[in-house]
Amino acid sequence: MHDELSTPYSLTAEQIARYRRDGYIKLKHVLSATVLAAYRDEIAQMVRQLNTETKPLGERTTYSKAFLQITNIWEQSAKVKEFVFSKRLGRIAAELMGVDGVRVYHDQALFKEAGGGFTPWHADQFYWPLSNENAVTAWIPLQPVSSEMGPLAFCVGSQRLLAHRDLSISDDSEVQIGRTLNDYPKEESPYDLGEVSFHAGWLFHRAGPNHTDQMRGVMTVIYMEDGMKVAPPKNENQQRDWDRWLPGAQIGEIIDTPLNPVIYSRTAGVRDLEPATNGQDATVA
């Protein structure tokens, strides 16, 4: 399992170009069923242990109905830390963005309960006080995600849109962003086991409700370019992110804190990450 989490995943030039054009990519066979099974129970256990949501679904806000959200589980679990600090995933993020290395910004478990609501249209980077756009989220389902379970849906190429970048995730963002995106192509296909998507910070995306009787377990890891600086916060959410995820980092200075270690570096990691194949060809959605 440790070998797989450290072994490079072979990206093609076409896949990298597609990510940069569309703002996202879905990759098959990134993680094996064995690896996912080995970490799924620990992640789920930590979600149960750390969850503070006690209201029934019917009494929650739209945001709270969308998922149980537990952040930076790697700080609480050595086993989850192995998963989050995977060089395999970090290298994919770096190569897609075209940067020499990446640091972890933070992780999030997003568990959409049976009967859970939709996740409104939004862009992640609204929440991030980061100096440039070289940040990406890996969305890692812990089981297959059918169309009925609420897979992530992307608005293709919307990372280039400037409108509505000031909206937090809400009923208002669902309506306003959704109206703007009416004429843009969407991608909302299900996920196979082992399939992982990567999407840019400013890409607009959403997820449908979970119409099944099973929990939709997803682990996410947010990566930023090694060399990223702190930008002045533009809203209260960015101030909270700065305080929590970038402790001690100063505006205009390169981020280098204990919570933001380097996950992959092309130069430092070259001896440890010799080229290897995946065993199966990667495909994209």
Read out DSSP for 102-151?
EEEEEEEEEEE-TT--PEEEE-GGGG--BSSS-EEEEEEESS-B-GGG--
Whose tokens are 């609480």? That residue is 76
Q: What pLDDT does residue 95 have? A: 98
Strands 186-187 and 152-155: antiparallel
* pLDDT tens figures, 180-223: 999 999 999 999 999 999 999 999 999 999 999 999 999 999 99
269 confidence band (pLDDT: 50, 70, 90): very low
| CA–CA dist 224, 211 (Å, integer) | 33
| CA–CA dist 100, 42 (Å, integer) | 31
| CA–CA dist 126, 131 (Å, integer) | 12
Q: What is the DSSP letter of 35?
A: H
**What 3-state class would DSSP assign to 172?**
helix
Which residues contact residue 85 at a Cβ distance below 8 angstroms, ignoring those fewer than 6 apart?
Answer: 74, 104, 261, 263
Q: What is the DSSP letter of 154?
A: E
If we measure between CA atoms, which residue out of 79, 78, 80, 107 comes closest to residue 93? 107
The pTM for the full model equals 0.93
Structural domains in the chain, sorted by start: 2-265 (2.60.120.620)
282 confidence band (pLDDT: 50, 70, 90): very low
**What 3-state class would DSSP assign to 244?**
helix
| CA–CA dist 76, 259 (Å, integer) | 12
Token code pair at residue 112: 């959409």
* pLDDT tens figures, 61-105: 999 999 999 999 999 999 999 999 999 999 999 999 999 999 999
> Is pLDDT at 280 greater than 60 in this prediction?
no
Whose tokens are 């992982």? That residue is 196
Q: What pLDDT does residue 270 have? A: 40
If we measure between CA atoms, which residue out of 124, 93, 105, 80 comes closest to residue 198? 93
